[in-house]
Chains A and B, each alone.
Chain A
Amino acid sequence: MPASLCVVSDSAPTAAPVRHSVNEVDCRVKAHEWVNGQYRLLTLSAPCSVLDCQPGQFFHLLCPQTDRFHPYLRRPMSIYSCNREKGELTFLYKVAGEGTGALAGLETGDVLNIVGPLGQGFEIRPEWRRPLLIARGVGLATLAPLAQECARLRLPLTAICSARAPDLLMSTNLFRSFGAEVITVTDTEGNSDTESLTPLIEGLIRSRGIDAFFTCGSARLMRMLQEIGARHGIGGQVALEQHMACGIGMCQACVRPFRREDGAVNLRVCREGPVFDLQEVL
């Protein structure tokens, strides 16, 4: 094996795992539609065994083989919604490359094999009473179920949704339906950069009493929130992405470095994450 190039030691399994909480199941496609020019909403009929999930958790999808696309590894996808009564699971995804390209070809009635639910979801700490969600791109999909959870907990919620262009803003009505105050920013309007967002967020801290940040979808936004959070003593969480192979914690493919009491440590995004403490991300 090649010599190690990185100074950070890797994580290994910690607590003894719970038995048989992860399932591999075949699901039928109930609906599959375009949300805009880039994103598709996939609705699956799913058995109860996989519907006990938390906002922020994800599934590992076995994208089909098609004439054009031959994905081999599974693709991680956040839960967009999960409904036990209806036996439904949805994913909102961007058609990007080989795997999502193949996924986009699925039609109603087709079968998709999924593994999950996987990873650690968001935790809304009891002291967090006035959350702010900041989502960009695919991050909107990951934060949607968290908005629903905030509504369930009757927490007043503000959400900043960011996208390249107005037509790529998704889920704003969904966020509003959960009672959130929604602020949209886009690159084309020129108000999505950190120079514009920082005063906007600091204004919200003053006017709304924001006491927690939740974010997903942009490293730039995450860094900005780490700074604002450090300045104002506001904590929060971030959902991260990393290339994966197994998705369940066996292979150590998906590590990223984090700050812990005893120094930097590599943690597995699929296992210790994908949701992490905002300030721990290096």
Chain B
Amino acid sequence: MADLTTRIGALVLKNPIMPASGTFSEELAEVFDLDCLGAHVTKTITQGKRAGNPVPRVCEVNGAMLNSIGIPSKGAEWFLQNTVPFYADYDAPLVISISANSADEFARFAEEVSVPGVAAIEVNISCPNVEDHGKAFAMRPGPTGDVIRKMRSATDLPLWAKLSPNTGEVVEVAQAAEAAGADALVTANTMLAMAIDSATGRARLGNVMGGLSGPALKPITLRMTYQCARAVSIPVIGCGGISTVDDVLEYLIAGARAVQVGTATFISPTTMPRLIGELEQELEERGLTSVDALIGSVDIADEAITLAEYA
């Protein structure tokens, strides 16, 4: 049997497959045994109660979807009393995703949620920074570094910085997160997008703009994974458009130590357990004894190509 375990800093995951924040919740336990997963990652929460965006909150575009769910949150207290205990019944490590309006708020919130039962904190920095004219933290290395640095001094838990594909400074943001003390990177969140109904002339999301996810996002987030894995020495977790075992292999080969599955769970709620089985089979067929053998093994025929024109 091939060894599926993978290491994300101090955490050992029994396999590299875990859910993406916002596409997973307790209800999935009605479909399959959640303990088969490498980790559990919860929907982003904020410290206080918060409403989401107007409906329609989702729409489909060719081979992908847009969402403008926002971050409806019942607040930290409710989460700690209800959600954290639910996952205590499982062996898989619990990763909780948090968001806040400023670096100081991020730090205070990280401290509050550093409780027994939580194995790591995923930092959703794709939200507006009130101290930077509402520009998302993840757009620039400076604010990204600030958030991670302040959180680093507020908690001992591993910090996973979730990057955004909306920035042109992918490598700089990744390196800023690493320098500030992040334990891993997640590449990436959704890409800002829009859809219009040509018949009615109306925007198809209640919030006008929303995040693109699903297969159409994959080439972009796969590229980010590759860029980040080469630019930092902390583990990179790939995310974006994964629905088949080939997608998983591509991310591992690009340099990811684990992957997150999001939208595919909406299309087929049994995607993750299926991918775990298929990954094991695929490794065996390739005569590989562990996932480690694949990670970062991308075959670049000629280094110069990566510097060649691409526009």
Contacts and interface: CB of A to CB of B under 8 A. Distances in A.
A254 B206 CA distance: 12
Contacts of B201: none
A63 B173 CA distance: 40
Given A20-B32, A245-B58, A255-B52, A250 B23 contact: yes
A2 interface: yes
Contact of A2 (B58, B83, B128): B128
Contact of B72 (A10, A17, A74, A245): A10
A2 B62 contact: no
B26 A17 contact: yes
Interface in B17-39: 22-33
A73 B60 contact: yes
A7 B53 contact: no
Residue in A10, A20, A24, A256 with the greatest tally of chain B CB atoms within 10 Å: A10
B27 A17 contact: yes
Contacts of A252: 43, 52, 57, 69, 72
B269 A22 contact: yes
A84 interface: no
B270 A246 contact: no
B267 A74 contact: yes
Interface in A60-90: 62, 70-74
A20 B27 contact: no
Given A4-B51, A23-B31, A253-B58, A245 B269 contact: no
A153 interface: no
Contact of A72 (B55, B64, B209): B64
A139 B70 CA distance: 31
B78 A6 contact: no
A2 B74 contact: no
Interface in A76-131: 98, 113, 115
A13 B25 contact: yes
A70 B49 CA distance: 38
Interface class of chain B by DSSP: loop
Residue in A1, A17, A115, A256 with the greatest tally of chain B CB atoms within 10 Å: A1
B269 A4 contact: no
B114 interface: no
Given A2-B209, A22-B30, A253 B67 contact: yes
A38 interface: no
Contact of B266 (A21, A71, A246, A256): A246
Given A17-B26, A20-B31, A251-B67, A115 B269 contact: yes
B50 interface: yes
B54 to A, nearest CB: 5
A242 interface: yes
A252 B27 CA distance: 12
Interface residues of B, number: 56
B63 A6 contact: no
Given A73-B267, A246-B265, A251 B22 contact: yes
A219 interface: no
B155 interface: no
Nearest to B207: A2
Nearest to A16: B86
A232 interface: no
B99 interface: yes
A147 B64 CA distance: 39
B27 A4 contact: no
A264 B49 CA distance: 14
Contacts of A18: 30
Interface string A219-254: 000000000000000000000001111111111111
B126 interface: yes
Interface string B74-101: 1000100011001000000000000100
Contacts of B60: 71-73, 98
B69 to A, nearest CB: 5
A148 interface: no
Contacts of A71: 60
Contacts of B269: 22, 24, 115, 246, 248
B54 A5 contact: yes
Interface in B261-275: 263, 265-270
Contacts of B51: 4, 6-10, 266
Contacts of A244: 58
16 contacts: A1-B70, A2-B207, A5-B53, A6-B54, A7-B51, A9-B51, A12-B83, A13-B25, A22-B30, A243-B58, A245-B58, A246-B23, A248-B30, A248-B31, A250-B28, A253-B58
Given A255-B72, A266-B51, 15 more contacts: A2-B209, A4-B51, A9-B74, A16-B86, A18-B30, A19-B30, A22-B269, A72-B65, A73-B58, A243-B56, A245-B67, A248-B30, A250-B266, A253-B58, A253-B67
List the 10 closest pairs (A to B, CB-CB), nearest first.
Answer: A10-B72, A249-B27, A72-B60, A253-B58, A250-B25, A22-B30, A245-B58, A1-B127, A246-B266, A12-B74
